[in-house]
Structure 1
Amino acid sequence: MKIEQPDFPIASEEFAGRLVFVTGGTKGAGEAMVRRFAAGGATVITTARQAPEDPDFPASVITGNLATAEGAAKVAAQITGTFGVPSILVQNLGGSDSPGGGFAALTDDMWMKELNLNLLAAVRLDRAFVPAMLQRRSGVVIHISSIQRLLPLHESTTAYAAAKAALTTYSKALSKEVGPKGVRVTAVSPGWINTENTAVFLQRLAESAGITTQQAQQNVMAALGGIPLGRPAWPWEVAELVAFLASDRAASIQGTEYVIDGGTVPTI
């Protein structure tokens, strides 16, 4: 699914002169973030297991595995040596492939895999880049968490939800430590996002149940307890929130978490 730009004007020089590093930025909301920062004039770097085939992809892609300490250190060293220290760091990498079956189905290896991908990758990269941000007394770090930290699905997302909850808590702690020294830290927690993977997932559900993809989408929304907005978010909508938080327009925003879920979380 092609990531479209929004149909409203974007200030083409908003991020001019900024070096932006978005982890996991070749698909879905991560790709939308890359394109949004590039449209705003930034020099953008991202990571992936494999480089995208699009010759016009608007970012330098570094291949590597951020879910290991060695992989994160290698990517950080390559970025610092080639580009310098990012002025904006968006920790978007995340996901889950743990099996269903509840807590008893999760082995230690599965737990560590979820924690490495959804928590420790961000911790390690912050440790690599934030000290230099502190030295120059400027920088922005945005951690992409998830509403799963508030609405875990015990059948299939316990480890992922726990890792994202830890990421949000860590983000708050980091903001309190580095905020007085010029580095802003915030978190963004999306709900269901309408990505290419979502489309594949809905198609699979529809085929197995003998229903339309629209009906499958309604069934998923019902399982989430409903989305009052009536639909998942589009990737560019999440990217626009991230761009705002990274911009000078959000200069006084620090240590907070922004939920973008169409109203899925039923509490304040």
Structure 2
Amino acid sequence: MSPATPLFYDSREFTGKRVLVTGGTKGMGAAVVRRLMAGGATVATTARSALPEGQEPALFVQADIATREGVDRVVRAVTDDLGGLDILVHNAGGSTAPGGGALALDDEQWRHDLDLNLLAAVRFDRAFLPGMVAQRSGVILHVSSIQRRMPLFEAMLAYAAAKAALTTYSKGLAKEFGPQGVRINSIAPGYVETAAAHALVARLAAEAGTDEATARNGLMTSLGGIPIGRPGQPEEVAELVAFLVSDRAASIHGSETTIDGGTVPVV
């Protein structure tokens, strides 16, 4: 399968829909942008780095959305260019925390991970929810993580805590705004082999003097194993996102869907 080709799609499904995908130039976000554009949506996206060559969303805003100023810049551009939103996919997230466990994380690192993984979503929702309420329709999807239930403490504890807060926030938001016509859900991906994840596999293989398959299996083992035997692919996550933000999922609200190949070992 070509990475630019969705598994299944109706090229008219999202016609007339105005969409913002945060963090939409790499990995899962880029796959989501491609998928929704293939379905006919008018898609805006944002990232800290410049737009990669070959990507052509309807609108791109270069901004650091871990800051209030960055979020405001994106909101102004989307409002001026699109006049509002029908679908908001908050995909941006991550962490640059050092290894060493919880005590290696200082206030600045905690603040950054909370700003990027939680407060950016809160700020975008606060900006675009009034318009969705006014039109009595809209969909918001937050990308959380299985780490909210299986935190990796070595370097990712602040990230995991922020994602746990994002899931709880999503549930509360859904209860408030569902009666006003806005559907709100979240998804929790596991190990997805984006280009960045593949680079990590390659680096681990080089450091250990082994091959990528062995390094990849080691990563999967560190998560407790992946029953399907492989990481997920960005296009698979994008297909789930497309379903959840579509009218096909009209009664799915206030839920979190896990896409992890069976990694989380609980019901």
Under a length normalisation based on structure 1, what TM-score does the superposition of the two structures give?
0.97
The Cα of 1:103 is off from its aligned counterpart by 1.1
Asked if structure 2 preserves the Cα contact closer than 8 Å seen for 1:193 and 1:235, the reply is: yes
SS at the partner of 1:20? strand
Q: Which residue of 1 aligns with 2:223?
A: 224
Amino acid of the residue matched to residue 242 of structure 1? V
- Residues 1:16 and 2:15 are matched in the alignment: yes
CA distance in 2, matches of 1:57, 1:160: 30
- Residues 1:169 and 2:168 are matched in the alignment: yes
Amino acid of the residue matched to residue 21 of structure 1? L
- Residues 1:148 and 2:159 are matched in the alignment: no
Asked if structure 1 preserves the Cα contact closer than 8 Å seen for 2:7 and 2:239, the reply is: no
Q: Which residue of 2 aligns with 1:206?
A: 205
Q: Closer, same or farther in 2 for the Cα pair 1:7/1:254, shift >3 Å? A: closer
Asked if structure 1 preserves the Cα contact closer than 8 Å seen for 2:137 and 2:181, the reply is: yes
The Cα of 1:3 is off from its aligned counterpart by 7.1
5+ residue gaps, structure 1, are none
The Cα of 1:78 is off from its aligned counterpart by 1.4
Runs of 4+ in 1 over 3 A off after TM superposition: 5-9
Under a length normalisation based on structure 2, what TM-score does the superposition of the two structures give?
0.97
Amino acid of the residue matched to residue 201 of structure 2? L
Q: CA RMSD in A?
A: 1.3
Q: Closer, same or farther in 2 for the Cα pair 1:56/1:71, shift >3 Å? A: closer
CA distance in 2, matches of 1:35, 1:182: 27
Q: Closer, same or farther in 2 for the Cα pair 1:267/1:22, shift >3 Å? A: same
- Equivalent residue runs for 1:19-168 within 5 Å: 19-168=18-167
Q: Closer, same or farther in 2 for the Cα pair 1:118/1:248, shift >3 Å? A: same
5+ residue gaps, structure 2, are none
CA distance in 2, matches of 1:7, 1:40: 9
The Cα of 1:56 is off from its aligned counterpart by 4.6
Q: Closer, same or farther in 2 for the Cα pair 1:220/1:8, shift >3 Å? A: closer
Q: Which residue of 2 aligns with 1:253?
A: 252
Range with bigger deviation, 70-79 or 248-257: 70-79
Identity %: 55
The Cα of 1:52 is off from its aligned counterpart by 2.3
Query: Structure 1, residues 160-196: CA drift from partner, whole Å, max 9, x if none?
Result: 0000000000000000000000000000000000110
**How many matched pairs?**
267
